Amino acid sequence: MSPDVPVLSGASVRLEPLTLDHAPELALAVEEDRSSYGFTMVPRCDEVKDYVQAQLSRKGLIPFAQIRVADGRAVGCTAFWDLRTWPGRDRLRAVEVGFTWLGASAQGTTINAEAKLLLMTYAFEEWGVHRVDLKTDARNQRSRAAIAALGATFEGVLRNWSLSWAPGEDGRLRDSAMFSVTDGEWGDVKAGLERRIAARAAAS
């Protein structure tokens, strides 16, 4: 297993390993409309370079810029996170997909669903993992609905599990709603995502 992930390409989104070259376009994307970021870690425009550097230096994180194929612009970020191997072996058994955000103009498109399809396809079919985790602030109903729509299974709420990113809650812990897709479910989840993406593309 190599943690070096290549560019992952779809019809509406291309996931490129994150670099500082993406920072100028990400700085524009973060300020389009911030009304959906109440529970999500999304930098302000003048914080983007520091954010990218922090992502690149964070141990166990494999970050990507989400590039909108239609115009070639970086419109958000996502990542593989918390890679877990089998005891005594270098082979992955599970990984989380997280640190995801999109600029307002990219929300409500096929980009999020296709990015998750690309990431999970790589995790299950290249790395051979048995589980992909997705989690969000338990209060974030919009994010919970979006994760469930991917076909992930809700497993419950883990109390005081993660740092809160909500305004005014610095240094506090949040309850996290945990979802997953397992290798046994992946075939059906993948087919469902492909149908959803094709239907949205046909309607646009």
- Residue 82, C-beta contacts closer than 8 angstroms, at least 6 positions apart: 60, 94, 95, 96, 98, 133
Tens-place pLDDT, residues 29-42 = 999 999 999 999 99
**Beta carbons within 8 Å of 147's beta carbon, 6+ residues apart:** 134, 136, 177, 179
Q: What is the distance between the alpha carbons of residues 182 and 180, in angstroms, rounded to a whole number?
A: 6
Amino acid 1: pLDDT: 47
- In this prediction, residues 134-161 reach a mean pLDDT of 96
Question: What is the helix (H) or strand (E) element at residue 20, kind and residue range?
Answer: none
Q: Kindly tell me if the per-residue pLDDT of 3 is higher than 90.
A: no
Q: Are 93 and 131 in contact (CB under 8 A)?
A: yes
Contact between residue 77 and residue 28 where contact means Cβ atoms under 8 Å apart: no
> Which pLDDT tens digit goes with each residue over 100-146?
999 999 999 999 999 999 999 999 999 999 999 999 999 999 999 99
Give the model confidence (pLDDT) of 18-73 as tens digits.
999 999 999 999 999 999 999 999 999 999 999 999 999 999 899 999 999 999 99
pLDDT-derived band at 88 (thresholds 50, 70, 90) equals confident
| pTM exceeds 0.85 for this model | yes
What is the Cα–Cα distance from 50 to 23, expressed in whole angstroms? 9
